[in-house]
Amino acid sequence: MKKGIRFYIALWGAKLGTILLKLLRRNASFFPGKFALKVCPDFIGKIDKPQTIVAVTGTNGKTTVCNMIEDILKDNNFVFIDNKYGSNIDAGVTTTLINGANFMGKTNKKLAILEVDERSSPKIYPYLTPTYLVCTNLFRDSLMRNAHTEFISEILTKNIPKETTLILNGDDLITSNIAPENKRIYFGIDRLETDGSKCENIARDIIVCPKCNTKLEYDYVRYNHIGKAHCPKCDFKSPEIDYLVTKMNLNNMKIILKNNEIEEEYDLISDNIINIYNIVTVITVLKQLGLNKEQINESLKKQKIVDTRYSDETVNGIKVITHLAKGMNPIACSRVFDYVRKYKGKKAVILLLDDLHEAARGSENTAWQYDTDYEFLNDESISQIIIAGARYLDDLVRLEMAGISKDKISYQRDEITAIDNLKLDDIETVFILHDLYSIELKEAVKNKVEIMIKNY
Ligand SMILES: [Zn+2]
């Protein structure tokens, strides 16, 4: 593609802007790309790109998956560009490509790992052909931003280039059917003891066959629409899995992954099903990039789920666990609530949802709370629930609707003083569930809880 004067003005302006922003110690991961796209709308198509591009998209897990892929590649001395510290929309991707190129718009980088927001597909894929496009899963998310899974999967199908090989969650019937003409590789987890025949969740995003509208029959349900299903009337069904977890042992934290009849053992770094899916996604991508089992396992052992998403500490015999519970995202919240109820021992839960935070650009409404399984918190093992923060009264209504006795709930607007109500009798674990926008607040709450435990 001929580059032209607009391209060079955009490139040089963005490069200069990056230098200035860095001198001013400002974030330079968004505006240079935004500027370049303003000056030259088809900039992404014109700039040189690495030969191999892995794009990662999906409702949940894309940041964790990207972080892990990048850390393991780095550990194995791969050189690549990524948008780890940048934004995952067109301006962020553009900034990453600019940083990977010289003043003539040429690059000597061979590999790019890019996290891409699903909704940015129409602005990115017409100009950039991923070698692999990974889709972790597709669920209902913030209504305001994402509408519905049908809308999102349609955007993906319309915009993914025909040459791209897809790496898809085969246990997700929505994800596994995007861009049906493209070459695809499925990953998945075989039936687990904990899988049921009925869906326990409020939300399920695919109920009828997209081909003939007959109600789907589930062979088993893991959570929401994750599981294995078939249409009783036509040939629509869950796909055959290429990278299949055939065994999962949470006692020694190992999985057996089968590909092409070869079984390999891998380490797990989390016992949470969401993170196990993330790990399986990462292994599948790395195998496709040519890494072997030893390389992956060696680096996997050094991995940790990022501290802002999960942390645990034991103080005077009581465990304090912080866990991200992303507001406006009913599936992510429900998975966390499920993890909490299944966690062994007596628990107290501190719930700090903050989707009204200005960084969340103002929440839509509380509809998402009614797609979220607050009912999972109605469990004997949970003896106290403290709710605080902007959503505390909405939480109160929702918890009462879930049938939770008001004696168990304490509620207050201020997060720090709310902790005064924490009762530590018989408690083995305190869960602090927080939003994406309340990381500092979470730290303050955690410190206060730990002091209370020390003085207990
Ligand atoms: Zn059908």
Mean pLDDT value of segment 273-280? 94
Give the distance (Å) from ligand 1 centre to CA of residue 214.
5
C-alpha R_g of the chain = 23
Task: Give the pLDDT confidence of 425-436 residue by residue, as tens digits.
Answer: 999 999 999 988
Q: How high is the pLDDT of residue 262?
A: 96
Cβ contact 211:236 at 8 Å: yes
Q: What pLDDT does residue 89 have?
A: 93
pLDDT of residue 34: 96
pTM of the predicted model over 0.85: yes
pLDDT at 363: 59
- Residue 270: pLDDT band (50, 70, 90) is confident
Residues with C-beta atoms within 5 A of ion ligand 1: 209, 211-212, 214, 231, 233-234, 236
Residue 184 C-alpha to ligand 1 middle, in angstroms? 21
Report the chain's mean pLDDT, rounded to a whole number: 93
Please give the distance, rounded to the nearest whole angstrom, from the Cα atom of residue 216 to the centre of ligand 1: 8
Range in 191-200, 358-367, 377-386 the model is least confident about: 358-367
Q: How far is the CA of 412 from the centre of ligand 1 (A)?
A: 50
CATH entry 3.90.190.20 includes domain 310-455: yes
Structure tokens at 128: 């950039």
The 10 Å CB-count burial string (b at 16+, else e) for 369-400 is bebbbbbbbbbeebbbbbbbbbbbebbbebbe
Average pLDDT rounded to a whole number, residues 16-41: 93
What is the distance in A from the centroid of ligand 1 to the CA of 224?
20
pLDDT over threshold 70, residue 357: no
Query: Stretch 213-230: mean pLDDT, rounded?
Result: 96
pLDDT number for residue 364 = 62
pLDDT for the residue numbered 389: 87
In the numeric block, which tokens belong to residue 314?
Answer: 């034991």
Query: Which residue, among 350, 354, 382, has the nearest Cα to 452 in the 3D structure?
Result: 350
Ligand 1 center–CA 324 separation, angstroms: 37
Is it the case that residue 2 has pLDDT exceeding 90? no
CB 456: neighbour CB atoms within 10 A? Answer: 12
pLDDT at site 306:
65
pLDDT for res 192: 96
Predicted confidence (pLDDT) at residue 308 exceeds the cutoff of 80: no
Contacts of 157 (CB under 8 A, 6+ apart): 178, 179, 180
According to the model, what pLDDT value does residue 361 have? 57
- Ligand 1 centroid–CA 230 distance in Å is 8
Domain locations in the chain as residue ranges: 4-190+241-301, 310-455
What's the rounded Cα separation, in Å, for the pair 373 and 375? Answer: 5
d(CA 25, CA 71): 25
Q: Which residue has the higher pLDDT, 363 or 388?
A: 388
- Segment 293-299 long-range contacts (CB within 8 Å, at least 24 positions apart): 293/264, 293/265, 293/266, 295/72, 295/76, 296/72, 296/266, 297/266, 297/267, 298/75, 299/71, 299/72, 299/75, 299/76
User: For residue 225, what pLDDT band results from cuts at 50, 70 and 90?
Assistant: very high
Do 182 and 162 form a contact (C-beta atoms < 8 A)?
yes
pLDDT of residue 145: 72
Å from CA of 209 to ligand 1 middle: 5
The domain 4-190+241-301 belongs to what CATH superfamily?
Answer: Mur-like, catalytic domain (3.40.1190.10)
Query: How far is ligand 1, taken at its centre, from the CA of residue 148, in Å?
Result: 21
For 116-136, how does the pLDDT look when each residue is reduced to its tens digit (9 = 90+)? 999 999 999 999 999 999 999
- Give the Å distance between the CA of 235 and the centre of ligand 1: 6
Q: Please compute the mean of the pLDDT values over residues 323-349 and round it to a whole number.
A: 92
**3-state SS record for the chain:** CCCHHHHHHHHHHHHHHHHHHHHCCCCCCCHHHHHHHHHCCCHHHHCCCCCEEEEEECCCCHHHHHHHHHHHHHHCCCCCEECCCCCCCHHHHHHHHHHCCCCCCCCCCCEEEEECCHHHHHHHCCCCCCCEEEECCCCCCCHHHHCCHHHHHHHHHHHCCCCCEEEEECCECCHHHCCCCCCEEEEEECCCCCCECCCCCCCCCCCECCCCCCECEEEEEEECCEEEEECCCCCCECCCCCEEEEEEECCCCEEEEEECCEEEEEECCCCCHHHHHHHHHHHHHHHHCCCCHHHHHHHHHCCCCCCCCEEEEEECCEEEEEEECCCCCHHHHHHHHHHHHHCCCCEEEEEECCCCCHHHCCCCCCHHHHCCCHHHHCCCCEEEEEECCCCHHHHHHHHHHCCCCHHHEEECCCHHHHHHHCCCCCCCEEEEEECCCCHHHHHHHHHHHHHHHHHC
Contacts of 417 (CB under 8 A, 6+ apart): none
Q: Is the pLDDT of residue 304 over 90?
A: no
Mean pLDDT, rounded, for 281-308: 90
In the chain, the percentage of residues whose pLDDT exceeds 70 is: 97
